[in-house]
Chains A and B, each alone.
Chain A
Amino acid sequence: MPWEQVLTGSFLIALLTAGIRLAVPVLLAVLGEIITERSGVMNLGIEGIMLVGGLAGFVTAQTLEQATGIASLAAWVGLLIGLLTGAAMGLLMAVLTVTLKTDQVVTGVTFVLLGQGLTSYIFRRATGLLGARVTGLQSWAVPGLSTLPVAGDILFNHNAIVYLTVALVVLCWLLLFRTHWGLELRAVGENPAAADTSGLRVQTIRYLAVMVGAALAGLGGAVLTVVQLNIFTEGIMAGRGWIAIALVFFSRWHPGGALVGALLFGIADALQYRIQALGFKALPYEFLLMLPYVLTLVVLVWGSRQSNTPAALGIPYSKGKG
């Protein structure tokens, strides 16, 4: 099949619409990880946290939907549970890496294996989950804007989570760069000793940052299972947690960069689904799936010298020793 038959107008509109939708779970996790890393802690366990959040959210939504029959209520409560489950895992991560100062790389990798094992075990043990689906959220057309040609379909005909996530990008940027909290958070990530001397509570701020970051990862997982795919299967995150960590570096710890990176990922992901569905041979879908990883490497190769990596990233802080 030649390119001309694939690259039609309606195909591109559908592609971009799906790309935005697919970007959302990853974008939530990236925003969370930016907050965490800005405080000087690296949480490599995102993939595991997304899986656990995704399963917890899905089980909640499915149970509630069957009990009450109100799909949207069930979906929202499911998302909330996904968020809270993520926060709880963040608390555990913070106890280990902030208080006990365990190695962040090894702790993160272990969290991924824990999340994979735990969700796989629960999923297989609870046979009722097999093939069960939820309804998720209806899309909500923005009045006036959704009727615009092209842009209306692509941008203004999504479910509420998509709009909320875009708002969160702005909120994150405001929080990090325009509020006192953001300044404190970044101070702790750049120079914890100085922040400590000037009266900031380094450990408390890092606890909050790790928990907020993990909560957003858990929410991202729940968005994928409850709202987008309406199902849970083993390994359903398919590396999205690792992509999120890559995109944090790609974004240079900036919410705007996160938006761009997540959209690139979403569109590449949407394209590979369609190429597989069409049986299009000229571009192997594996190369599209590689794209976020390759792009991140490229960005690091060209940009690492003037990187704005938080200076204290990965280093635990102990009073009087920093």
Chain B
Amino acid sequence: MKNISTAWLHLLNRSRLKPLAPIAGGAIALMLGGILLHVSGANPLQAYGVMFAGAFGGTRQLTETLLKAAPLLLIGLGMTIAFRCRVWNIGAEGQYYIGALCGSAIALTYPALPSLILIPLMLAASIGGGILWSGLAGLLHLYRGVNLIISTLMLNYIGILLVQYAARVPLQQPDGFLPESAQFGDNAQIPTMLGTRLHWGFGLALLLVGAVYLLLWYTPLGFQLRAVGSRLSVAKCVGINTSRSILIALTMSGGLAGLAGILEVSYTYTRLKGDISDSYGFSGILVALLGQLHPVGVLIAAVLFSGLMVGAQSLNVVLQIPASVAQVIQALVVLLVLAGQAIARAKRDDAIPLVAHDG
């Protein structure tokens, strides 16, 4: 597999933000989801009402939605960098797990450190873990020509299984029966900000929206990454080191996924376990795509995806309707947006097949 067409990416490169397709796709997906709800004996309007109230209906609900958006936003931002450089990192799930593992190892090894030192160390370790795990795929790609899609995919499960092993054996709580580590001390839990339940990780993710935007469009490095992503031959001609760009884009997305991992473990789970993700690594890919590979779009998409998930939880509590309906709607939105963009592209007849630098 030398090549994966990314014509949609090409289209997006040309027109910065085209919010119409996701909005139309979202509307149709909600309709299809409504049909699913109706067929399974639920009242779609009532269900959507409950979902909306559960996700955005008050301060507590909104806080929950923003909290759950943080990992999606971080992973989505990373994917934005990677996909802009046309690097197919579908290993965010594994990078998230390894990031969580490295950060947790610090928290469990140095439980007595003061928060001010311990938390930055944990964050750094998690970013390092994500960089390492994605960089491994990058090195295999650059030196041995191993296809990035497949290597990042393989490393997903290897990473998840490593964490399951770590939580069951070496990092397991002493005298514990469950496959999980001891609970982190208060000093290892990421603090909340401004008197809300929102933790500083969310604030950091918000800052990164601006940082990624500046990086991609206002720095030489960002220009290089996008140049490699849009026209490989041109990038080579003007002397851009493509291998280096690929590695940078890949490890940046890996580092952000790793960061998302330790934030979730430190705040939501407060201990390392074998199951610490809501498929964030895969949903994050969809978030990046739905956000049109633009940091602001990714922010909006992450909040909407998270709103669907949080709203679906209250759907489960209030109406006993399974929360997985949220995942169905998410997948439908993305499929519809993909199809819509493809049809628009075919109409304009500007489908120039692009060749990705893979394998």
A residues near B, CB below 8 A?
A: 42, 44, 96, 100-107, 109-114, 116-118, 120-122, 124-125, 239, 242, 245-246, 249, 284, 286-287, 289-290, 293-294, 296-297, 300-301, 304-305, 307, 309-316, 318, 321-322
Q: In the complex, which residue of chain A has the Cβ closest to the Cβ of B153?
A: A242
Q: Contact check, A117 vs B157: say whether CB atoms are below 8 A apart.
A: no
Check A113 against B346 for contact (C-beta < 8 Å): no
B90 an interface residue at 8 Å Cβ cutoff?
yes
- C-beta contact mask, B149-160 vs A, less than 8 Å → 1, else 0? 111011111100
Contacts of B41 in A (CB 8 A): 125
Is there an interface contact between A96 and B339, defined as CB atoms closer than 8 Å? yes
User: Could you say which residues of chain B place their CB within 8 Å of the CB of A105?
Assistant: 4, 88, 90, 149
Kindly list chain A residues whose C-beta atoms are within 8 Å of the C-beta of B4: 42, 103-105, 314-315
Q: How far is the CB of B336 from chain A (nearest CB, A)?
A: 10
Task: Report which of A102, A116, A301 forms a contact with B338, defined as CB distance below 8 A.
Answer: A102
Q: Which residues of B contact A294 (CB under 8 A)?
A: 154, 158
Instruction: Give me 5 other A-B pairs in contact (C-beta within 8 A), A121-B325, A125-B41, A314-B1 excluded.
Output: A100-B339, A100-B346, A103-B7, A286-B161, A290-B158
Q: Which 9 A-B pairs have the closest CB atoms?
A: A117-B327, A114-B331, A124-B322, A100-B342, A120-B324, A286-B165, A117-B328, A313-B1, A314-B4
Q: List the B residue with the shortest CB-CB distance to A302.
A: B144
Q: Is the CB of B40 within 8 A of A109?
A: no
Chain B residues contacting A242 (CB-CB under 8 Å) are 153, 156-157
5 A-B contacts, Cβ less than 8 Å apart? Answer: A111-B331, A117-B326, A287-B161, A294-B158, A297-B140
Contact mask B1-16 → A, CB, 8 Å, 1/0?
1111111110000000
Query: Across the interface, do A101 and B289 meet the contact criterion of CB distance under 8 Å?
Result: no
Least Cβ–Cβ distance between B43 and chain A, in angstroms: 14
Q: How far is the CB of A196 from chain B (nearest CB, A)?
A: 14
Contact B353 A125 (CB under 8 A): no
Q: Is there contact, CB below 8 Å, between A114 and B328?
A: yes
CA distance A114 to B155 in the complex (A): 22
A296 to B324, CA, bound (A): 32
B164 nearest CB neighbor, chain A only: A286
